Amino acid sequence: MIKRILEHLQPLVACDSQNPPRQIDSDTSMFRYAADILQRAGCAVEFKDFGEGHVNLLAVRGKPGVLFNCHLDTVPIGEGWTRPPLDVTLEDNRVFGRGVCDIKGAAAALLSVAEQTDFPIAILFSSDEEGAGSCCIQRFLDVSGHRAFEQVVVCEPTGCQAILAHRGFLSVKGHFSGIMGHSSEFRALQDSANHRMARWTAAALDHCEREAQEGRPTCFNLGLVSGPAAVAFSASWTGQGIGLSSRSWSVSRPAARRYSPIVASCRSRGTFPGSWVIPLSFAPCRTVPITAWRAGPPRPSTTASAKPKRDGRPASTLAWSRVEPNRT
């Protein structure tokens, strides 16, 4: 099995699926390779290409009750690689390559399972999990027939632990406006869009620090900033991919409400951006009491993220005895 997984992993990693820029479509080599393997394994394969790199591949064999979901896009390659990022390198029983861990390795494992068994199976490969503006899963759920699965296993690198909840996420795009002028003018302290952006970021970071001190650690990341460069002090900057997610185990309020203190804090300092767009958000999933999982299978509406334990037992036979919310 391991040898075959590595054979599947090679063409998946070799396909450049960095997101951004998300230059992906239904003819991208990783999708065509996966479709070929799954069709030969007896699966009915369906593509949905929503444009701009948003692609779903659904493969179904028989009448399965469990859907396995795995994204094939990766974060950008970045710098500092000591091995080829778009190749599979095996050293000391470890595999190196962009996306091997998150999460093409799981995709290769699913392909191996599909071709080496004849059990009913359903696999959804998607392409827009990493970057902003994800829509693949929502588009999938918009089809009523896709909600018939009793369970969903979402493949993510969780340290071989079953994770039974999601902390929620809020993606924000804010536009900071100012009044252009010369750097020698004292009013730049207040009028520069650069300074307004810096004050807003500082206010958000201060809020997150206070939340952590109160036992509510909150993830915050300012992912991308863009704006004019050749001016004395600028009048317009845009912050994109401002990601927020809560680590609170039992939060059930909508994500946007969960982060309203950040908004209020920044407004009180007069540093809130002129426009606020939320391209993606979802509330934390409600948790399921661990005793309920020990007593039997989850309710049909439950969504779980799981991986087999190191002893090789399949996720369906795991004893749900340990859940660490901070690892979601």
Q: Looking at the annotation, which residues are catalytic?
A: 129
Structure tokens at 31: 């999708």
Rounded to whole angstroms, the Cα distance separating 47 from 57 reads 5
Order of strands across the sheet that contains 169-177: 218-226, 236-246, 169-177, 275-282
Q: Within a 13 Å sphere around the CA of 44, how many CA atoms are in the beta-carbon half? A: 6
Structure tokens at 98: 């962009």
What residues does 58 pair with on adjacent strands?
A: 46, 124
- Give the angle subtended at the CA of 10 by the CAs of 21 and 116, to the nearest 5°: 120
Cβ–Cβ under 8 Å, residues 241 and 171 = yes
Distances (CA, A) of 157 to 107, 128, 206: 12, 17, 30
Strands 121-126 and 44-51: unpaired
